[in-house]
Chains A and B, each alone.
Chain A
C-alpha cells in the first residue's frame, strides 16, 4: 500500500502540474525551460559548500577516529544495552548518508539482518537525515554564512532521535531476542 504511494507519487505530481498548467493556459514548454535554466546555476553554486563538508567527512572516516570512539565508549554502551557496532552508525548518520547506509549494510550482513544491532541501525538510518550536509547545501545555495541556531537545533533533534530509537527499539525488539 505505502510502496504503491511512493511509486505513484511522481507520476501523479507530474500529471497534475502539467494538466493544470494547460487548463490555466500557461505556456508550459516556455515556462519549463525558463525555470530549468536555473538548474545549472544552483548546482554550481553549492559546489564550494559540498567540497567543504564532503572532504571533511571523508578525512574523518579515513582517520579511524570513529572506531576509536566506539572502543572508548564500549563500557557505557553495554550498560544501556546498545550494541557497540551501532555507535559508528549513530555518529556518521548526521554527516554522510552514503556512509551510514554502507555501515548499516555491513552490520546487516555481518551480524545478520535479524540481529538487534541491525534492527536498531535500521531504525536510526530510516528515521533521520544527513543534518550537516543539508545545512551546508541549503544555506550555501543562498549564500548564508551565519546559521544562528539552525545547527544546534539539528544536532539536538538528532540526539533526541537516537535516544528515541534506542528506547523504542528496546521495547519493540529486545524481549524477543535471547
Chain B
C-alpha cells in the first residue's frame, strides 16, 4: 500500500506538470478529500441499519444456520477460522449481497465479517489468510446481473442491451474462480519477510 500511495500521488504530480494540468491536480486534492468524507457520512445511516439487522439475525441463530449449510465449502476456503465462528455465516450473506448487486448491504456486512475475522487474527496489524481469501472474493466482484451497466446501455439506446449478460457472467466467474485459486496458492507459498 505504501508504494501504491506514493506512485498515485507522485505520478499524478509529474504527469500534471507535463500536461500543464498542475492546477487541476492540486484542486482535485480538495474535491477528493471532500468526496471521501461525503461517502463516509452517507454510509453511516445504511451502515447502522444493516448492522442492526445483522445483530438480530445473529441472536436468532439465522447466521449460525447459514454457516452450517455452507460449511463444506467454507471448510476448504477458510480452513483457519473455527467452524463455529459467526464470520462464516456472514461471509455467505456478504457474498449473496454482492452477487445480487446490493452494494448498500454488501459493504456493512463485509465490514462486519472483517471485524469477526480480526477477532480470530493473532497479529492485529497483519492480514490473516482468511482475510486475504475473503478480500479476494470481494475484489473479484462476482455479480449475477450488472444492473447499472445495462441501465446505461438502455439509456444510450442499445438495440439488445441484455446480450452482455452471458459474456459478463462468464468473465465474472472466471475472474472469481481465479481469485480464489490465486489466494489459496499464495496462502501456501507466501513467505513473510519479517
Give, as a whole number of angstroms, the nearest-CB distance from B178 to chain A: 4
- Interface pair A43/B44, CB less than 8 Å apart: yes
Task: Indicate which residue in B1, B32, B152, B179 contacts A59 across the interface (CB closer than 8 Å).
Answer: B32
Give, as a whole number of angstroms, the nearest-CB distance from A107 to chain B: 9
Give, as a whole number of angstroms, the nearest-CB distance from B154 to chain A: 8
Interface residues of A (CB under 8 A from B): 2-3, 5-6, 9-10, 13-14, 16-18, 20-21, 23-24, 26, 28, 31-40, 42-44, 46-47, 50-65, 68, 101, 104-105, 108-109, 112-114, 118-119, 122-132, 134-139, 141-154, 156-158, 160-161, 164-165, 168-169, 172-173
Give 11 A-B contacts (CB < 8 Å), ordered by A residue: A5-B144, A10-B102, A21-B56, A21-B59, A55-B33, A58-B29, A63-B24, A64-B19, A119-B164, A146-B126, A161-B171
Interface residues of B (CB under 8 A from A): 1, 4-5, 8-9, 11-16, 18-19, 21, 24-25, 27-29, 31-33, 35-37, 39-41, 43-49, 51-57, 59-62, 96, 98, 100-102, 105, 107-108, 110-111, 114-115, 117-118, 124-127, 131-132, 134-136, 138-141, 143-150, 152-153, 155-161, 163-168, 170-172, 174-176, 178-179, 182-183, 186-187, 190, 192
- Interface pair B125/A145, CB less than 8 Å apart: yes
- Interface pair A2/B144, CB less than 8 Å apart: yes
- Interface pair B140/A52, CB less than 8 Å apart: no
Task: Indicate which residue in B16, B45, B53, B147 contacts A64 across the interface (CB closer than 8 Å).
Answer: B16
Chain A residue contacts of B166, Cβ below 8 A: 172
Chain A residue contacts of B18, Cβ below 8 A: 68
CA of A173 to CA of B170 in the docked complex: distance in angstroms?
Answer: 14
- Interface pair A62/B1, CB less than 8 Å apart: no
Q: Most chain-A CB neighbours within 10 Å: which of B16, B43, B96? A: B43
Chain B residue contacts of A39, Cβ below 8 A: 43-49, 51-52, 108
CA of A164 to CA of B96 in the docked complex: distance in angstroms?
Answer: 23
Task: Indicate which residue in A63, A105, A109, A147 contacts B15 across the interface (CB closer than 8 Å).
Answer: A63
- Interface pair B12/A153, CB less than 8 Å apart: no
- Interface pair B59/A26, CB less than 8 Å apart: yes
User: A-B pairs with CB below 8 Å: how many?
Assistant: 358
Q: Most chain-B CB neighbours within 10 Å: which of A16, A109, A152, A164? A: A164
Give, as a whole number of angstroms, the nearest-CB distance from A33 to chain B: 7
Give, as a whole number of angstroms, the nearest-CB distance from B47 to chain A: 4
Give, as a whole number of angstroms, the nearest-CB distance from B148 to chain A: 6
CA of A156 to CA of B136 in the docked complex: distance in angstroms?
Answer: 10
Give, as a whole number of angstroms, the nearest-CB distance from B138 to chain A: 5
Chain B residue contacts of A10, Cβ below 8 A: 102, 105
CA of A138 to CA of B164 in the docked complex: distance in angstroms?
Answer: 30
In the complex, the 9 A-B pairs of residues with the closest C-beta atoms, listed nearest first: A129-B141, A39-B48, A126-B146, A35-B55, A58-B32, A56-B8, A161-B175, A113-B158, A36-B52
Chain A residue contacts of B9, Cβ below 8 A: 56, 59
- Interface pair B60/A54, CB less than 8 Å apart: no
Known: A39-B48, A43-B47. A62 touches B25 (CB 8 A): yes
- Interface pair A63/B11, CB less than 8 Å apart: yes
CA of A120 to CA of B60 in the docked complex: distance in angstroms?
Answer: 45
- Interface pair B167/A152, CB less than 8 Å apart: no
- Interface pair B183/A149, CB less than 8 Å apart: yes
- Interface pair A64/B21, CB less than 8 Å apart: yes
